[in-house]
Structure 1
Amino acid sequence: MAGTRERALDAAVDVLGTDGVRALSHARVDTAAGLPAGSTSNWFRTRRALLAGVVDWIAEGERADFGASDFPVAPGDTGLVDGLCTLIELLTGRYAVRTRARYALFLELSSDAELGPVLRGQRREFERWTEQLVSAAGIPDAPSATRALMALCDGLILHRITVDPELAVRPLIERTVRALKPQL
């Protein structure tokens, strides 16, 4: 069973992902986690500390859930397309609440002098991981191709969690990967 800290962080992600940043409070997290009043503030004294904890918790969860070994890509393989489609399906399905929480944090904290750089730093880690997959697929100019694919995937994710949860992403990803690597 998860400890109180982990339960509080999971509940905070749920609050953020369902009701937005403005709904986040220690009391609301305690209630959502089924914890005694004041439990969350024992771990995170201020709302800002709670937000910082959630930023790290989301990144930690995504690194655990989407490790490079889960998305093997070989040169000349369609593994990149399969991996990106799987990733989008998970981020907009099983992990949709966490995805909405991450986007809410980006919108709220992007200009925050302390937490904005932390969010962007974690994004850069994900970019490096994606660039490794793009390179493994044999796509030339991996940094530029990675930016293009990630922009497409961000748009598809946002579209699926806000407008059309059933949007077929495979044709769009296949077309983009083909354009980046014509021999696929």
Structure 2
Amino acid sequence: MAATRDRALQAGVELLGTEGVRALTHARIDAHAALPPGSTSNWFRTRRALLAGVVDWMAERERADFAPAEVAAQPGPDALIEQICAGIELQTGPFAAHTRARYALFLELAPDPELGAPLRRQRLEFERLSERLVIAAGIADPRPAARALMALGDGLALHRLTVDPDLDVRPVIERAVRSLFAEP
């Protein structure tokens, strides 16, 4: 069985991803994780500490789930299209609650310099990973290409999470990636 702290953090992410930021309370987490009352507050005394713990835990999970080892060895648009589609499938399928939780935290914590900083650092790590994918694929100007593909991916993920869970993202991703290869 997972450690009490990890169970609490996992439950916090699940609550964030299914019920929103207001559902993130010590008592709700204890109940959701089937922990004795007060367990979560033993680890995180304040709501601010709880939010910081959830942000850090999510970043650790995302680094493990989307490890840089995923970078394809073969260059070209097909491998990049496959990787982006697979990433969106993961984020809107098995990791949908985590994705919703991340969006909720970004909206809630963006104005807070201290709590928003870990979210922005994690975003920069994803930008670096995306740049490596774009470089490996052979796109000439990787930074703007990676940012454009990330923005497109965010939009498609948000659309799948909120409007159309069955949206086929492949045609959109294919068109975007192929256009980046066609640029002079």
TM-score range, shorter chain: over 0.9
Identity %: 65
Partner SS, residue 78 of structure 1: helix
Shift of 1:76: 2.3
Deviations 1:97-149 (A, max 9, x none): 11000000000001112111221111001100110010000001100001100
The one-letter amino acid paired with 1:62 is E
- Structure 2 residue runs without a partner (length 5+): none
Partner SS, residue 89 of structure 2: helix
Q: Which stretch shifts more, 70-79 or 49-58?
A: 70-79
Aligned residue-pair number:
183
- For 1:76 and 1:84, the matched residues in 2 are separated by 13
Q: TM-score, length-normalised on structure 2?
A: 0.96
Q: TM-score, length-normalised on structure 1?
A: 0.96
The one-letter amino acid paired with 1:75 is P
4+ residue stretches of structure 1 with deviation over 2 A? none
Task: Say if 1:73 and 1:133, in contact at 8 Å, map to a contact too.
Answer: no
Task: Say if 2:85 and 2:169, in contact at 8 Å, map to a contact too.
Answer: yes
- For 1:134 and 1:72, the matched residues in 2 are separated by 10
Report matched runs for 1:164-183 at 5 Å: 164-182=164-182
Deviations 1:67-86 (A, max 9, x none): 12234252225111101100
Q: Aligned pair 1:12/2:48, yes or no?
A: no
Task: Say if 2:71 and 2:136, in contact at 8 Å, map to a contact too.
Answer: no
Match of 1:62 in 2: 62
Aligned-pair RMSD on alpha carbons? 1.2
Task: Say if 2:134 and 2:145, in contact at 8 Å, map to a contact too.
Answer: yes
Match of 1:162 in 2: 162
Match of 2:84 in 1: 84
- Structure 1 residue runs without a partner (length 5+): none
Task: Say if 2:91 and 2:157, in contact at 8 Å, map to a contact too.
Answer: yes
